């Protein structure tokens, strides 16, 4: 978002929602997040059940990490340990091995759940959705390729691309 505001990028896909007076934003996707644990972990009754587990996340700036941290703060939980990863495969592998828990999109973990490599647990609706938005500056010249991208995203939202 900062790079778009500083005219370093013409546009970007970022975690939303975004409300900024200098930006136009358009929602392009919404993902449902689930808490994932190793396959031997018992079903979670309360978020406090993970209080002493290591939290496995991407680096700062990741919307999934931000949502997990927001949820834990809301519940009054301060993770004892956090491990940062650069890849989804790294996080899923460590979750599967029982090294910790993570918050990831349901669509990303479905196959791993079906293969019994990990378990997924629902989280409160308030924290379960994350939007991806396309942003660009209101005051900038919109080049033809950017204009076509914006039109394509609007057509897809209306169901014209399927």
pLDDT at residue 160, rounded to an integer? 57
pTM for the model stands at 0.76
At residue 162, does pLDDT exceed 80? no
Q: What is the mean pLDDT of residues 52-68?
A: 90
Q: Strand, coil or helix: what is 31?
A: strand
Residue boundaries of the structural domains of the chain = 2-29+131-157, 31-129
Q: What is the mean pLDDT of residues 103-108?
A: 93
pLDDT at residue 50, rounded to an integer? 80
Burial readout 114-136 (b: 16 or more C-beta within 10 A, e: otherwise)? eeebbbbbebeeebbebbebbbb
Strand pairing partners for 70?
none
Write the class of the CATH domain 31-129. alpha beta
- What mean pLDDT is reported for the chain? 89
Q: What is the mean pLDDT of residues 111-139?
A: 92
Q: What is the mean pLDDT of residues 32-47?
A: 84
Q: If 0-12 CB within 10 Å is exposed, 13-18 middle and 19+ buried, where does residue 9 land?
A: middle
pLDDT band at 155 (very low <50, low <70, confident <90, very high): confident
């Amino acid at each position: 978002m900062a790079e778009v505001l500083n005219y370093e990028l013409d546009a970007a896909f970022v975690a939303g929602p975004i409300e900024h007076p200098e930006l136009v934003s358009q929602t392009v996707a919404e993902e449902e997040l689930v808490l994932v644990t190793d396959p031997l972990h018992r079903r979670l009754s309360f978020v406090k059940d993970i209080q002493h587990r290591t939290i496995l996340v991407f680096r700062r700036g990741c919307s999934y990490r931000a949502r997990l941290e927001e949820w834990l703060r809301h519940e009054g939980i301060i993770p004892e340990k956090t491990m940062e990863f650069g890849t989804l495969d790294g996080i899923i592998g460590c979750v599967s091995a029982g090294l910790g828990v993570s918050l990831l999109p349901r669509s990303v973990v479905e196959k791993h759940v079906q293969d019994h490599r990990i378990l997924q647990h629902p989280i409160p609706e308030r924290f379960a959705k994350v939007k991806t938005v396309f942003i660009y500056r209101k005051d900038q010249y919109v080049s033809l390729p950017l204009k076509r991208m914006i039109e394509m995203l609007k057509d897809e939202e209306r169901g014209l691309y399927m």
